[in-house]
Structure 1
């Protein structure tokens, strides 16, 4: 029995092997790739391993595949037998049973017909009369017809997330993951193989992704959560989704299309955040001074960060007691809104300070081990969100804040990993975290939510599908951030990437950059400002106002256009506009003191015959693709924004942007 699942331009063909012992991949690629012999099928004899160890299996337990790695490990080995297939609501379900182990496993496949992504997950039902312990819980495995893969992955640490790196794997295995209770700063739950096949895990807790070059010559990638999970008799545990992407032209644009499909349509305002200006010193007069300047330069949203609630004078107190410190807080919010600004607030609802009233009243709400003091990280403890009473507290707290005040934006932070949290509690915490986000969207649909975990510690597919933007890193220094954003945009789309203009010096690359550079960098996603604008000169504020206006003009193309990640540049292609953001990071050419030429950025994916820039200069699409868009970098000009409008040959009577006669390069 064979099934072909069709996405936008690709197909994924899966079959149950003749003995009914497992499902295996037949072909995965452009439409029609399944019409021919499978490139994955084993044609040779098998020595020293089992038949499943050499087959392109989709999902099997230990027992069936004991040597080259199983997707599921439970308390005792297991062997599957096929138990039928169903197709409903666009989902293919292949059921397998093990009556001895007391397990029913249903492999689920959901093709996204408008993009080239296939979602997979497994529904595991305990059919025995006692609890079933799952130790390794994969969501999917996939075999790829490449024996020497080039793996691309995102790694780093706090303040240096999303560093894109590559490794060639001629043999052996590769693993990335997190045991932090969140996806973490060290690795993102995303992997690319030869920039053709991609895997991304929709899980907001601890996880792993592995790749292994198997003796049979296949590369097998697995993704799943870290266990254990205990499934009670009669219960079904559903694994998180794994998204599988295919592209012959690079994967980033496939992931961007998938993000847009999962995101709700929402306008992303230009924001100002007060943290880097005031820290914990939050007072209405000081905040209003910042808000006035922000409004004057064109900001649309003012966000008060940490320090607004009772007891929060430093990082040792206050968390959990979510009531404004100022008795005039309500008036302050209205004063901000009277300036034409929306109002936003920072919260960290999963954490609690030992000095707080909440902890004094509910010390049993934190993760702790009997007879031991809980571990302090950043002077705070982590609430057990898996408890129903904690979940209800968080929901009621956020409901109260959003009902008492006209708040339209929440920055949800989480600044410590999970300690004293046994693996079996990870699942309950994550599911209730999702429930809170779902509640916010249903109960307060006007509120935009920013996902943050000490920067980019929680940017998985599940979180990005339930929030409106995410915060890639606490590091806002320009050249450091350029690398962070470059990696982030391989995994996620620009409309999800919150980026600020600040005066922060580089932690890893301290070369100073101009205000324009910092603005153009932040324009690459959702523009924000975090600098202490009180210290900006009049000229800097005027420049900022011009650049914010510039961003608003291109925002729709940046957030919704097709993205090409170029060398020190990003190209966004809309219906009839091309926007190019470019940065200078290397040595200058010495022009005009010595002979030299313009730096060039070669554009991609152009469809029109000609393009005109805002000065009226006309370029052919061939020139822009093969010669490139010119940039003349200098000490005073280290970044630029270029907008090109597509035109058809012979149709350009005047520049559609300036009204002037067109000019051609000579």
Structure 2
């Protein structure tokens, strides 16, 4: 552990933090504010690092890998590490006495640590992120334009629905590169090679027709998760991370209840993971979205107790990369962020977008800002602008449809503005037949690839996030701000 004491006026400071994984909140807040801690215990596993949770206390802020304190003049202090391969770096700032106490704890092997005062926090954060990316061999492929099935069909996706949308995209000249089949094609979590009864075929039946239409086939997998009713669970219970009672560690609450996770330190698990992604490649999928990856790094009892959590995660992800091949495009999601550098090509950098602005009750009363919503995606993805040095950022999909959506035209445009500012992947999931001319025009705009923008300032914001960029200013609040309406994006002036 390392500690630093800053004898400064705390009322004048803001803190920039980034949560542990894709969906964990990243924020820019007054230092004296309260960092929310979810009331629901299962969200500790699924939205945060249960080994280093948000504090829930006023004046105490926790961050993973990188942290910054910002003065009113734009200067301040920045802390980070230069290697996250096998180590979680956990930062805490605490208002204490006549100033701020900063603590850095490493879970895993010792790594080089940076803590510096700077006259320009924005530039220092970007430089430190770039150093970490270079040190870990960040992959920087060209960004892709992706259509995925999730926000159209959820788990009811069918082979026919995929092909219908691909044909419509080609007929209407929509410039997608990839068509991604999301969750719902498989019989169960872990039983990836067995099709769901409703799917109307097999995942291996899709790549050929997609390629004939000119699209790269993409496939969603949650490779570390195991359905409690799956064949994998029945046959290989010894492959699972265990809880304190010796049984499989129960995680999350998707798919109707908790699910176990694979233990990547078990000698039979890594070959199984390599075979899984190799099989997907053999089916014809060079683009793989790997979701719910946090499962491999949860606290628990593993086959090899000498392997730390970060190392266990990295071993599993390396196995998936080895099976897929170096030429595969891997998109991480729900993943420990810095620990994925050098193995993924792209990374989800915020919670899921949703066809509504905010889940206010869950965010405010239950302390869970990781739930899907347009606001949550903006709030966190904008505050991680610097992570483009680690991988192609994926701020999630545009919402261009008016049907089956509670987003206003202003709010749909604000999501589009986020895609432009963040750069990286461009994605859509609207049923293409549902889009009118206005929706198609917005979609075409959202598919225009752009370079990542940078903040004009970290000393002002319209909401508890980074909102003032050189190309756009976002108002994430529910009130007018300096003549800008709520939930909107405008030019930088």
Separation in 2, partners of 1:544, 1:363: 45
Q: Deviations over 1:142-188 (max 9, x none)?
A: 6466455646143789967223323259xxxx999x98597468454
Shift of 1:393: 1.3
**Aligned runs of 1:245-324 on 2, under 5 Å?**
247-250=118-121, 251-258=124-131, 261=134, 262-295=137-170, 296-309=173-186, 311=187, 318-323=188-193
Paired position in structure 2 for 1:234: none
Structure 2 counterpart of 1:480, from 355, 376, 384? 376
CA 514–338 in structure 1, closer or farther in 2 if over 3 Å, else same: farther
Shift of 1:489: 2.5
**SS state of the match for residue 310, structure 2?**
helix
Structure 2 counterpart of 1:198, from 57, 75, 78? 78
Paired position in structure 2 for 1:353: 227
Paired position in structure 2 for 1:29: none
Shift of 1:241: 5.2
Is the 8 Å Cα contact of residues 245 and 254 (structure 1) preserved in structure 2? no
Separation in 1, partners of 2:131, 2:308: 27
Higher radius of gyration, 1 or 2: 1
Paired position in structure 2 for 1:90: none
Separation in 1, partners of 2:177, 2:44: 38
Structure 1 counterpart of 2:396, from 499, 506, 511? 499
Is the 8 Å Cα contact of residues 87 and 106 (structure 2) preserved in structure 1? no
CA 634–324 in structure 1, closer or farther in 2 if over 3 Å, else same: same
**SS state of the match for residue 410, structure 2?**
coil
* Structure 2 residue runs without a partner (length 5+): 38-42, 55-61, 355-372
Is the 8 Å Cα contact of residues 182 and 220 (structure 2) preserved in structure 1? yes
CA 375–562 in structure 1, closer or farther in 2 if over 3 Å, else same: closer
**SS state of the match for residue 229, structure 2?**
coil
Is the 8 Å Cα contact of residues 353 and 380 (structure 1) preserved in structure 2? yes
Paired position in structure 2 for 1:581: 472
Shift of 1:485: 2.2
Paired position in structure 1 for 2:328: 447
Q: Deviations over 1:589-627 (max 9, x none)?
A: 9xxxxxxxx96xxxxxxxxxxxxxxxxxxxxxxxxxxxx
Paired position in structure 2 for 1:223: 105
**Aligned runs of 1:160-175 on 2, under 5 Å?**
161-167=25-31
CA 435–357 in structure 1, closer or farther in 2 if over 3 Å, else same: same
Separation in 2, partners of 1:218, 1:638: 34
Aligned residues: 418
Q: Deviations over 1:547-587 (max 9, x none)?
A: 42xx23xx2xx24x655457565546xxxxxxx13445676
Higher normalized contact order (CA 8 Å, seq sep 6+, divided by chain length): 2
For normalisation by structure 2, the TM-score amounts to 0.70
Separation in 2, partners of 1:239, 1:504: 49
Is the 8 Å Cα contact of residues 155 and 183 (structure 2) preserved in structure 1? yes
CA 482–393 in structure 1, closer or farther in 2 if over 3 Å, else same: same
**SS state of the match for residue 323, structure 1?**
strand
CA 536–426 in structure 1, closer or farther in 2 if over 3 Å, else same: farther
Paired position in structure 1 for 2:364: none
Paired position in structure 1 for 2:360: none
From the two aligned structures, give the one with the greater helix fraction.
2
CA 539–484 in structure 1, closer or farther in 2 if over 3 Å, else same: same
Shift of 1:380: 1.1
**SS state of the match for residue 472, structure 2?**
strand
Separation in 2, partners of 1:175, 1:520: 27
Is the 8 Å Cα contact of residues 180 and 205 (structure 1) preserved in structure 2? no
**Aligned runs of 1:27-106 on 2, under 5 Å?**
71=1
Paired position in structure 2 for 1:381: 260
Is the 8 Å Cα contact of residues 76 and 119 (structure 2) preserved in structure 1? yes
Separation in 1, partners of 2:91, 2:304: 19
Structure 1 counterpart of 2:412, from 491, 508, 515? 515
CA 499–328 in structure 1, closer or farther in 2 if over 3 Å, else same: closer
CA 402–436 in structure 1, closer or farther in 2 if over 3 Å, else same: farther
Separation in 2, partners of 1:428, 1:519: 40
Q: Deviations over 1:190-220 (max 9, x none)?
A: 3223453322352678764344689999955
**Aligned runs of 1:308-347 on 2, under 5 Å?**
308-309=185-186, 311=187, 318-323=188-193, 325=195, 327-347=201-221
Separation in 1, partners of 2:44, 2:412: 39
Shift of 1:406: 3.6
Separation in 2, partners of 1:381, 1:357: 13
Paired position in structure 1 for 2:370: none
Shift of 1:327: 4.4
Paired position in structure 2 for 1:421: 301
Paired position in structure 2 for 1:52: none
Shift of 1:478: 3.1
Separation in 1, partners of 2:442, 2:244: 58
- Superposition RMSD in Å: 4.3
Is the 8 Å Cα contact of residues 152 and 164 (structure 1) preserved in structure 2? yes
CA 542–371 in structure 1, closer or farther in 2 if over 3 Å, else same: closer
Q: Does 1:531 align with 2:430?
A: yes
Shift of 1:401: 1.6
Shift of 1:428: 4.3
CA 355–469 in structure 1, closer or farther in 2 if over 3 Å, else same: same
**SS state of the match for residue 445, structure 1?**
coil
Shift of 1:339: 2.2
Is the 8 Å Cα contact of residues 225 and 260 (structure 2) preserved in structure 1? yes
For normalisation by structure 1, the TM-score amounts to 0.53
**Aligned runs of 1:633-648 on 2, under 5 Å?**
639=489
